Amino acid sequence: MDKLKGIFAASITPLNDDFSPDLEAIPEYLAFLAGRGCHGALILGTTGEGPSFSLQQRSQIFKASVTVQEEYPDFRLLAGTSTPSLDETVKLTQAAFDLGLDGVVVLPPYYFRKSGDGGLLAWYKYVIEKSVPQGGKIYAYHIPALTGVDLPIDLLQRLADNYPGKFAGIKDSSGDQQFAEKLGETFGDELSVFTGNDRLLTHALRHHAAGCITAIANLISPDLRVLWEADQLHKSTEASQRKINQVRETCEQFQPFPPLIKYLVHHFFGFPRWPLCPPLEDLSPINAEKVSTLLNLS
């Protein structure tokens, strides 16, 4: 598989009223994303409420997701396989590759937050050696505001050196512009670096990023795709970036993103008002009315 690049949505996960995955709705929703310009999607990341589901449920979601490729064979699928458990992360990663997903995105273990870089390196090495097959690709997921764990450049470099081809890149959701620059300076075009912050897309692309994986791509993937295409042709992205920033800045007033995105895809695109797995709660009626007034996504 070639190096991944482009616009990826951090997909929501459709649920039934009992909080079980709506397996029929999952490929339908992914087809919606594919039809709106996404190159692919991350399944069961933060926006997809990944840690809220059991291993069995997550495997069911992976299996349902790959059916979208019957209609959209070029639509790439990444699986969030992170858990604080080393054994469960290995099993989920194996399941994702066995089911044919294109890669996995893995958080650092987020319970023992001060374990040190040596422990993080040993953890990722074990996951790679035990569960990433030849030709499989693993991406580190850097979101320290959520996990409390930084993934330093030196650690990423050691993984890239030790596992060329298998360690394929990083989703950087730190929102740190300087860190985005360092990733570009260090890895250039060697790894697929995806920004997790839409406001940094132009900046990241100018520093060798491969694209983005974001929650907001559920809403404005056509605009993100226009920016990405313009960058590929070395054209100005300024107007597109301003438009994207306005949406991102509005959405950031109503975090966390899973309730917001589920409400907005219902309100603007006609999907069911899918529930959220507790402890996440629905967007309040006051905030739902407010954000609907501030945004125009139809």
Q: How does pLDDT run across 96-134, given as a tens digit for each residue?
A: 999 999 999 999 998 887 888 899 999 999 999 999 999
Inter-CA distances, 201 with 25, 43, 209, 277, Å? 30, 21, 8, 30
Mean pLDDT of the chain: 95
Instruction: Decide if pLDDT at 1 tops 90.
Output: no
Position 298 scores a pLDDT of 65
Buried b (16+ CB within 10 A) or exposed e, 30-53: bbbbbebbbbbbbbbbbbbbbbbb
65-93 per-position pLDDT tens digit: 999 999 999 999 999 999 999 999 999 99
Look up the pTM and report it: 0.95
CATH number for region 6-235: 3.20.20.70
User: Domain boundaries in the chain?
Assistant: 6-235
Q: What are the tens digits of pLDDT across the range 200-242?
A: 999 999 999 999 999 999 999 999 999 999 999 999 999 999 9
Distance CA 10, CA 13 (A): 10
- Report whether 102 contacts 1 (CB < 8 A): yes
Q: Look at residue 112 in the predicted model and tell me its pLDDT.
A: 82
Token pair of 267 as six digits: 């309100």
Residue 296, pLDDT score: 87
